[in-house]
A and B are shown apart, each in its own frame.
Chain A
Amino acid sequence: MSLLVVESPGLQTTVQDFGREGYGVLGISASGAADAVALRLGNLLLENKPGTPALEMTLTGGTFVFPDGAVICLAGANFGAQVDGQSLEMWRPHAILPGKHLVLGATRDFARCYLCVAGGVGVVDFLGSASTHLVSGLGGWEGRALRKGDVLQIGRLGKNIRRRKLRTGVLEEVKPKQTLRVTRGPQFDWFTAEARSALAGGEFVVSEESNRMGLRLDGPRLTADGTAEMISEGAPLGAIQVTPSGQAIILFVEQQTTGGYPKIANVIAADLHCVGQLRPRDAIQFEEVSLAGARALWIEREKLLSSEERLFL
């Protein structure tokens, strides 16, 4: 095993993979990479398996040293990575020589940058996943965000570094968007006509009080009609629930698994990675699609990514 030393952690850096889906009965949400598409493509460029654990950095990156060297790939948001004052191109494998400092800064575009490492970041799995669940302090590296001085294991270097590159157009296809497509939520009909049209046409702004659990949105107040009493029920990833004050919250990867607020809509699976790239104060809009439409978009996305993966075999 080789090592990764955290010289400075950045704002919030955690170990993430595709998460641990399937433990709702225990009250455990899946966690996992906020932008699973970036994680998948970053690993692909290193010829890692799709869900190999990597570091997820948030808004501002850290500084890392690899005493034995490493091959890395940066995916997702551009945090202006440098080694010895030289910029590192995103979405390309790079060899980092032993002892060199990989320095990342503040984001230049989106919220999260993934530091993928050939062979992956090694932590003890919890319920079959390396993902950190910050809220409950489970999984990942000691169940918490990385701190200065942490030393993690990474996979051993392969002999060859192949200068892999994604096909033209792939990144354009998966580029995070500010218009999120949604399907109707189970309580859509509970909302007033005004609320429904505000959802479709209004502009919402991601509040500072947003994290991996959920994104609070400022914008039009969404009012529920009538007096129907909501009984708490399971809430899926991407559900847009509305508090009694009319504020919309998008439930995200470390979400609470059940909720007692009505859900007006749900971000479609094919756009969930866009949610992971939203920064506080970003303005967003919603666009309604049918269930069948959402499914078609998801299948299309899977086709795109798996055909890219086949090229790398």
Chain B
Amino acid sequence: MLAYLGEEIGAATHERVVRLLRLLQREPIKWLRNIQPAYCSLLITFDAAAVDHAEVQKTISKLEKRAKKSPAAQPRLVEVPVCYGGEFGPDLEDVAEQHGLTAEKVVELHIAQTYHAYFLGFAPGFAYLGDVVEEIAMPRLETPRKEVAAGSVGIAGRQTAVYPFATPGGWRLIGRTPLEIFRKDREPMGLIAIGDQVRFRPITREEFLAARRA
């Protein structure tokens, strides 16, 4: 069942999503199987042998009211070092050209924002970060790449993200981080969690290679 908490992408709606998520995570609800948060909604998967849609709806509405009163969580700040352009950011020049900017200006605009981690999806650890300023927003590639290197930083529309794994992908790649975004032997496994604040910091190719060796 999908619970919608707003109709547009933005901090206010997302705050409601996160509050309800935290409450659901704390409540011992027997029939709850999975929660998938997104920009404006939570997808609730439940044990259909135990409850029906109406009952789930009723429980969620009640919790929504309670969630409004719960205190907001203090966001974590995560810094992601990125080596922009060149082989690591094959689409940086295209993004610059599309908007009549220099590559340096694109990087400057990308690092100037503090991004909000709206949710994780697509692949384990893949955080949808927003909002990218309109000046460097880019549509997805018409034909996605068959493989995008792990650590690649991309832009799609007004979102930006770091690919945790080598996967197919259609986002415009502007750089790459040496950090491992998702590691199953680490706690927490994902570097970025829902609700985090994320900033990008430019590093040189030498710094990138040194970090990879470390």
- Listed in ascending order, the chain A residues whose CB lies under 8 Å from chain B are 21-28, 30, 126, 133, 135-138, 186, 231-237, 256-259, 269, 291-292, 294-295, 298-299, 302
Contacts and interface: CB of A to CB of B under 8 A. Distances in A.
Interface string B165-185: 101000000000000001010
A126 B36 contact: no
Contacts of B167: 135-136
A232 B43 contact: no
Nearest to B53: A291
Interface residues of B, number: 41
Nearest to B168: A135
Interface string B184-202: 1000011001100000000
A243 to B, nearest CB: 12
Interface in B20-62: 21, 25, 33-43, 45, 48-49, 52-53
Given A135-B167, A233-B43, A256-B121, A24 B35 contact: yes
Contacts of A234: 2, 36-38, 41-43, 121
B2 A126 contact: no
A231 B131 CA distance: 14
Contacts of B36: 24-25, 234-235, 257-258
B122 A27 contact: yes
A182 to B, nearest CB: 15
B35 to A, nearest CB: 6
A235 B119 CA distance: 13
A136 B165 contact: yes
A159 B120 CA distance: 48
A22 B33 contact: yes
Contacts of A24: 34-37, 43, 45
Nearest to A268: B48
Interface string B1-28: 0100001110000000000010001000
A137 B165 contact: yes
Contacts of A257: 36, 120-122
Contact of B190 (A21, A26, A30, A135): A26
A136 B34 contact: no
A263 to B, nearest CB: 9
Given A233-B2, A291-B53, A27 B38 contact: no
Interface string B125-146: 1111000000000000000000
Contacts of A291: 52-53
Contacts of A233: 2, 38-41, 43
22 contacts: A21-B45, A22-B34, A23-B34, A24-B35, A25-B35, A25-B120, A26-B125, A27-B123, A27-B124, A126-B184, A135-B167, A231-B7, A231-B8, A231-B9, A232-B38, A232-B39, A234-B41, A234-B43, A237-B45, A256-B122, A257-B122, A258-B119
Contacts of B164: 136
Contact of A21 (B33, B37, B40, B43): B33
Nearest to B21: A25
Given A256-B121, A298-B49, A27 B126 contact: yes
